[in-house]
Chains A and B, each alone.
Chain A
Amino acid sequence: ETGVTQTPRHLVMGMTNKKSLKCEQHLGHNAMYWYKQSAKKPLELMFVYSLEERVENNSVPSRFSPECPNSSHLFLHLHTLQPEDSALYLCASSQGPDNTGELFFGEGSRLTVL
């Protein structure tokens, strides 16, 4: 138990569906992240939020839409995804957004796009 909880753990969706991934952290951290992990590839940073403001968007397609309503919750809204978006999506949190502290990861949400 890392203090970062992701739901759902598994999600199967069609290309026309709209779904959301949820992340919640109970660590009092100020920064939250979405990472994408595809098979045999390194983790790719998608978004960084610091104190509920987006501080980084790594050229992610607009079919991925993040939302950070408060410092404990982070969402990733998904719509009109492609099969190549199938991957493990990991949420993480840390004390600050500059990566100088330890990262705490959730268990991940495994997404399959049909």
Chain B
Amino acid sequence: KNEVEQSPQNLTAQEGEFITINCSYSVGISALHWLQQHPGGGIVSLFMLSSGKKKHGRLIATINIQEKHSSLHITASHPRDSAVYICAVLDTDKLIFGTGTRLQVFP
């Protein structure tokens, strides 16, 4: 079993829908990253958080340290949000990555 589990593995949505991607982890962490990987391969950092909630535009990330769980929400989804979303947790100085959630948003 991976130390970082993401669900779902694949997700399809209609434009405008509210999206939730989940990340659960089994190790003690000091921070959690949400990353976005576009079809070309490049990865962009969306959020780094260690508690509570962060918002950037239509993206919201939350973390519950006690439950070892984080969620990434996308409001009013758009086809350009289609990408792989990767959760990574910081265990001491080591980053442990999930396998990603592939999101496709159709017009």
Contacts and interface: CB of A to CB of B under 8 A. Distances in A.
Indicate whether A and B interact.
Answer: yes
Interface in A1-60: 2, 37, 40-43, 45
B2 A42 contact: yes
A45 B93 CA distance: 12
A113 B44 CA distance: 27
A88 B41 CA distance: 8
Interface residues of B, number: 24
B40 A45 contact: no
Contacts of B43: 90, 92, 105, 108
A108 B4 contact: no
A84 interface: no
Nearest to B86: A43
B42 A105 contact: yes
B45 interface: yes
A22 B44 CA distance: 19
Contacts of A97: 93
Contacts of A40: 99
A43 B41 contact: no
Nearest to A40: B99
Tell me what chain B mostly uses at the interface: helix, strand, loop, or mixed.
strand
Contacts, number: 53
A105 B44 contact: yes
Contact of A42 (B40, B48, B97): B97
Contacts of B100: 42
Contacts of B94: 45, 99
B60 interface: no
Nearest to B90: A99
Given A42-B2, A42-B4, A106 B99 contact: no
26 contacts: A2-B42, A37-B41, A40-B99, A41-B99, A42-B2, A42-B4, A42-B100, A43-B88, A43-B97, A45-B94, A90-B43, A92-B43, A99-B94, A99-B95, A102-B45, A103-B35, A103-B45, A103-B95, A105-B42, A105-B44, A105-B45, A107-B41, A107-B42, A108-B41, A108-B43, A110-B41
